[in-house]
Chains A and B, each alone.
Chain A
């Protein structure tokens, strides 16, 4: 049995208006360009991309930089089917370009304003989540969310076996108290943590509450885009 979970359309119900969030649109397409290493596909960003596509008209494309020789097919189609070139850029609200490149750390550049290049999957995930208008307003929830994002990426995805086991225990304890990591609401903490558990291949050996929660995450339908990358 899975936990009763919030219906998918009620999750992430923040109102997102790009003009409110980013300042007035000056006519140019708002372009998100991400350089990521194909050895560490940023699964959480693919989930967030799928969520952005539900909310906005997103012009998505995947490229391969010359620093990378070959890229497995699932990584080339990870943002969905390629748009035909007849689409005019002005019909879209957001550009989302993923470049597979030999970078030591994931980087994002955002076209509008004078924003510095942003390093780290967690920080890009936070940015995309803010575009959805879904960041918790309560300081405790927002800070716990940031903490889970860092824990997942630095201790689960990058950590040794002892660190991983400790994080799985912490996840299991938190998920014994509530259906999602922040309580009753699905959040970025669940997205990034679930992606890191899936990526480290610990799904079958994970403790009971973690397994149940992974099923609940997958039942939301947002994670189907990462399945082809887990083979």
Chain B
């Protein structure tokens, strides 16, 4: 059965959209704008939080290795998924999180293993959405190298150029509303 991902274009879930782009050649998945972010699997099963959506999509396309290639890598991916949700999203001071990321990327091309995983997708998405401007090449050279490397690749570049400005706009609007 076909999977259906809906999302609200005024606050697009970058990590879920990026994962959807990665798996679309392997999985029968339609993506459309709607009221809320929701992955419809069946009438009984729907996932609405981004980490559940990305985990499920990675698991139904195991050949892509998006959840890592062994149980140690899976556990590292879990670590970075939580890191993106809890330490990057919705935080104003990112200094310690960015320092941790820079350290983790010191000798690495990807956050986990030797190819792109959900860790890269979700951390990149969280930074693209709110923290990109706080990372400086002088203090976070490895993080900035990793970020610009991924940003130059498809589908990071296409998802970024299509949706990232909407995320920033929605963040600005909610800040405005809070005032």
A-side residues, CB < 8 A to B, are 21-23, 110, 113, 115-120, 122-123, 126-127, 130-131, 139-140, 142-144, 146-147, 150, 154
Contact = CB atoms under 8 A, between A and B. Distances in A.
B52 A122 contact: no
B52 A130 contact: no
Nearest to A115: B72
Interface of B: 41, 45, 47, 49, 51-52, 55-56, 59-60, 70-72, 74-76, 78-79, 82-83, 86, 104, 112
Given A110-B72, A119-B79, A139-B60, 6 more contacts: A115-B76, A118-B75, A118-B78, A120-B79, A126-B74, A143-B47
B55 A123 contact: no
Contacts of B60: 139
Nearest to B41: A140
Contacts of A120: 79, 82, 86
Given A116-B104, A123-B79, A143 B56 contact: yes
Interface of B is mostly: helix
B82 A139 contact: no
B9 to A, nearest CB: 25
Given A116-B104, A119-B82, A150 B59 contact: no
Contacts of B83: 119
The 6 closest A-B pairs by CB, nearest first: A139-B59, A127-B75, A143-B56, A123-B78, A130-B71, A118-B79
Contacts of B52: 143, 146-147
Contacts of B75: 115, 118, 123, 126-127, 130
Contacts of B47: 143, 147
B48 to A, nearest CB: 9
9 contacts: A113-B72, A115-B72, A115-B75, A118-B79, A120-B79, A120-B86, A123-B82, A130-B71, A150-B49
A84 to B, nearest CB: 31
A198 B70 CA distance: 33
A181 to B, nearest CB: 14
A126 B76 CA distance: 11
Contacts of A143: 47, 52, 55-56, 59
A116 B78 contact: no
Kindly name the residue among B47, B49, B56 whose own CB sees the greatest number of chain A CB atoms within 10 A: B56
B74 A130 contact: yes
B55 A127 contact: no
Contacts of A127: 71, 75, 78
B76 A146 contact: no
Contact of B71 (A21, A117, A123, A146): A21
Contacts of A118: 75-76, 78-79
Contacts of A147: 47, 49, 52
A140 B45 contact: yes
A216 B40 CA distance: 32
Nearest to A114: B72
B179 to A, nearest CB: 24
A75 B72 CA distance: 28
B72 A146 contact: no
A29 B60 CA distance: 34
